[in-house]
Structures are given as C-alpha cells and as structure tokens.
Homo-oligomer: A and B are copies of this chain.
Amino acid sequence: MAGNTYGQLFRITTFGESHGPALGVVIDGCPGNLSIDLDFIQAELNKRKPGQSEITTSRNEDESFEILSGIFEGKTTGAPICMMVRNNDQRSQDYSHLKDVFRPSHADYTYQTKYGIRDYRGGGRSSARETVARVLAGAVAKLFLAEKGIFIHAYVSQVGTVKLQTTPEQIDVSNIEKSMVRCPDENTSNQMIELITETGKRGDSVGGAISCIIKNAPAGLGEPIFDKLHAELGKAMLSINACKGFEIGSGFDAAQAFGSAHNDEFYVTETGIHTRTNNSGGVQGGISNGEPIFFKCAFKPVATIRSEQQTISNQGEEVTLLASGRHDPCVVPRAVPIIEAMSALVLADFVLRNNAIN
C-alpha cells in the first residue's frame, strides 16, 4: 500500500536506502521446489553494478548478496525468500551538504514534503541503488520463467539522438552483452559510446531508450480491464528511476496509423495460431497472444550533473549546487538488467494468476 510492494501472487517487497545498512527484498509466493542458481543471481547483479566499464561510475559498490530465508538445500520451499546486499561504504562519504538542499529533478523536495523527514544521504530511499533489490528478485523470477521456456531480452535502442534502426525481431540477442552500452548493433553501439563519453567530458548527462522482447510467453497471460499485461508492464517500467515513457508494440507510432494497415491478421501454421504482423506487441485485449511481446521505455538524462545549477534550500533560499564525485553520464546501459528484472516479475506474477483459474 505504501508502494514498496509489487505483484499479486509472485510478490516482492523491497527495503533499504542508498547509505543505510543494507538493501534487500522479500519474495513472497514463489512456488516450492524451484532450483536456485546462486551464480546466475550474482551474474544478474553484476550487470547492474557500477564500474563495469569505462563509461560508468567507478563507485565501488559491494554487490555480493546473502540469502536470509526461503531456500533449503538449494531449492525454494514456498516460504518467503529474503535476499540482501550490505552497503559497505555506508559512512564513507559526507552528504551533509545535501542535508538542506533540494536538488533539481531529484526526489529531495517531494520526499521532504510527503514525509516531513528524509534520509538525504545519496538520495536515501529514492536512490537508484534500490534497484539492486529488484534485480535480485528478478533473477529468481527469471529462473522460474526459464523452467517454462520464457526468456526476456532488453537492450539499449537509443542514446540521445543515436537510435538503433533494427526492429526487435531482427536483433541478435547474443550481441547485447558484447556491447559496453548493451546495444546489439556494433556500429550503433560505437556511436552511443562516443556520445556518452563526450557528454561525460562536458560534465553533462544524456537520456536514452531501452527496448525489450519477451520470447515464448504462452497465450493467456494478463488480466482483462485494469490489470492488462501491457498496463502492468507499463507500470513496472515507469516505476524504474528516470523512466518517462512506455509503449507496447507499435506504441506512439500507432497514433498515426490506419486500421487497415495496423491490424494483425491471424493465420495458422503447424506450430499453432500466429499473426502476420505484430503491431500488438504480443498483447491483445490486455492478454498475451503467443507472439513475442515487445515494448520500449524512454529514460531521461540523470539529474546529477557535474555543472553548476541554481536551486533552493530547505529554508527556501536560492543556492548554487555543484555535484561532486563521479556519476554516470548515461544510466541507460545499467538500466537494462532492471528492465529485464521488472519484466520477469510481471510475467511470473501473471503465470501464477493464470494458474489459479486453470
């Protein structure tokens, strides 16, 4: 109810602040007897980690996790799974200069107004470091989905004005991790890296977009009316820090389309019922139709930049702010595993919801 829980049946609750003792998640509702591959979870976590490449921040976050409950002899028991990551550099930095200032386009002002108090150290609860917990939970959801043959692939499709031109069906997912920016096309990837590097040198930040394709999801996932599959995907993605837009299938392009061209005609093959086009993005009437599910998310440039900005203090006085330390000039590459994690959580939940009535 207070917003820290996601999902109905495969349900997660995250906790923790950027500079508190730990960040973690409780997964409630994961079925029993699922084998938990610890190395896989760690690998997922590493994808989100800062300092992976020359274009990301070098903050040395410790990303080793601990399982506190719910796993017995390598398998889930049906009991809640709590996993956490300790914050090592909890007290290493001085954040007192942020105590009284509302940073532009951050959550400082809104948290202070809502709660009458805020943990100002590194953004506290509003820090993107909270997504560590989502990635942990998403990794378990991925293991659950993998047993059903469902796989999720997100990749960077835009950085600033550099856009990937290929469609989701055309991309080779095995190329994603080969790219420092997680763009599966080498040429586009290089242009993105160049733009990010330049932007970083200027002390600025730049936005981008991530596309995602979900393969082998069976028809029938999603609930009609309010909890449509793409509505939940939309909510899940928009809940990620800095995400400003979401579109499924043809998305905003659909606004200028004509029905005669946009409709996805059905046909039958040996493998079952399919559609000749996939403007629906795999979802019709809010429910998956067995085609690949794909969607795209827009991300704003990170708010923290190494340039002077005008803003105000707690007391309403005008102040000039200059961020210290190193910050990612573009977070989109590191948001890829978070998009996948949230997608996995949405899908796992709908699989269980569909089980319930079948």
Residues of A within 8 A of B (CB): 1-6, 8-9, 11, 13-17, 20-24, 26, 28-29, 31-33, 66-70, 72, 75-82, 84, 102, 104-107, 109-111, 113-119, 124-126, 130, 158, 160-161, 199, 204-209, 219-220, 222-228, 230-232, 234-236, 238-239, 244-260, 262-268, 273, 275, 279-281, 284-290, 298-305, 307, 309-312, 316-318, 352-358
Contacts and interface: CB of A to CB of B under 8 A. Distances in A.
A207 B1 contact: no
A93 to B, nearest CB: 15
B23 A69 contact: yes
Nearest to A84: B68
B256 A158 contact: yes
**Identical chains bound together, number:** 4
Given A226-B5, A356-B356, A357-B352, A78 B115 contact: yes
Nearest to A272: B316
Given A69-B17, A105-B284, A28 B11 contact: no
A265 B1 CA distance: 31
A303 B75 contact: no
Given A2-B78, A22-B68, A318-B267, A246 B234 contact: yes
Given A16-B82, A107-B286, A246-B245, A72 B299 contact: no
A13 B1 contact: no
A17 B105 CA distance: 42
Given A32-B117, A279-B105, A111 B287 contact: yes
Given A254-B301, A285-B111, A68 B15 contact: yes
A25 to B, nearest CB: 9
Contact of A305 (B111, B255, B263): B263
A344 to B, nearest CB: 15
Given A79-B224, A107-B224, A114-B219, 4 more contacts: A110-B286, A161-B256, A244-B254, A355-B357
A117 B75 contact: yes
A68 to B, nearest CB: 4
Contact of A251 (B124, B160, B244, B258): B244
A40 B138 CA distance: 36
Contact of A226 (B4, B70, B309): B4
B262 A300 contact: yes
B267 A22 contact: no
Contacts of A110: 219-220, 222, 284-289
Contact of A117 (B72, B104, B285): B72
A1 B8 contact: yes
Contacts of A298: 247, 251-255
A263 B183 CA distance: 26
Given A225-B3, A355-B358, A219 B72 contact: no
Contacts of A72: 17, 20, 117-119, 124
A102 B265 CA distance: 9
A245 to B, nearest CB: 3
A239 B286 contact: yes
A304 B119 CA distance: 46
Given A77-B117, A226-B239, A255 B207 contact: yes
B231 A235 contact: yes
A230 B226 contact: no
Given A2-B78, A107-B287, A204-B258, A13 B33 contact: no
